């Protein structure tokens, strides 16, 4: 992933002119950061899940092009059993209601990865069930949400991770 900062924009402007600086800025506009996740298990909840704001979700998302409805996201979180997991998925904007409201879907692999930090992700729950069958501890995440963007660089969303987890998060965009 390409890192961007003000200095690279300034250097592009100084050494190659305004057109290159504009290209750097338009590349950055394809990225967003998702964080601040709140989760709540709506069924079977007897208080033993890692939830509310304790999942420490963080991801970086990149649209395929400025016009694309699809993007790739890579991130990390603590699952319902407080195990660190890697999450890699695709986002699709399913419907744009107007300039501020959209319906989106995220379809992701959330589970173990070869790095030690993610090695315990498959120890409990559905992650462990998949590990017994496939040898890899993971859980497919199917998430549908409605997102409200009060500005071009900030959005708030709420939705359901199938089958029964209510989730909200914040999206910061570089538009």
Domain ranges of the chain: 31-173
In the chain the first and final C-alpha atoms are separated, in Å, by 18
Low-confidence ranges of the chain (pLDDT < 50): 1-22
Outline where the chain has alpha helix (H). 6-16, 18-28, 125-134
Q: How far apart are CA 143 and CA 120, in angstroms?
A: 23
Residue 165's pLDDT is 92
Residue 124's pLDDT is 80
Q: Are 91 and 63 in contact (CB under 8 A)?
A: no
Q: How far apart are CA 93 and CA 80, in angstroms?
A: 26
Number of residues that this document lists for the chain: 175
Residue 19's pLDDT is 44
Burial class of residue 2, CB neighbours in 10 A (0-12, 13-18, 19+): exposed
CATH classification code of 31-173: 2.40.160
Q: How far apart are CA 122 and CA 136, in angstroms?
A: 7
Residue 23's pLDDT is 52
Burial class of residue 170, CB neighbours in 10 A (0-12, 13-18, 19+): middle
Strand 165-173 with 101-111, pairing: unpaired
Residue 155's pLDDT is 96
């Amino acid at each position: 992933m390409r890192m961007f900062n003000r200095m690279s924009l300034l250097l592009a402007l100084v050494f190659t002119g305004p057109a290159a600086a504009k290209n750097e800025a338009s590349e950055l506009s394809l990225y967003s950061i998702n964080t601040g996740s709140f989760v709540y298990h709506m069924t079977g909840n007897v208080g033993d899940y890692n939830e509310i704001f304790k999942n420490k979700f963080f991801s970086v998302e990149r649209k395929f092009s400025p016009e694309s409805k699809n993007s790739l996201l890579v991130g990390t979180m603590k699952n319902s059993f407080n195990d660190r997991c890697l999450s890699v998925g695709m986002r699709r904007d399913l419907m744009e209601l107007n300039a501020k409201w959209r319906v989106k879907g995220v379809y992701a692999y959330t589970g173990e990865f070869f790095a030690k930090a993610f090695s315990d992700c498959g120890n409990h729950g559905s992650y462990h069930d998949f590990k017994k069958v496939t040898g890899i501890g993971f859980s497919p995440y199917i998430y549908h949400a409605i997102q409200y963007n009060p500005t071009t660089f900030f959005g708030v969303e709420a939705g359901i991770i199938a089958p029964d987890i209510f989730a909200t998060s914040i999206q910061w965009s570089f538009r």
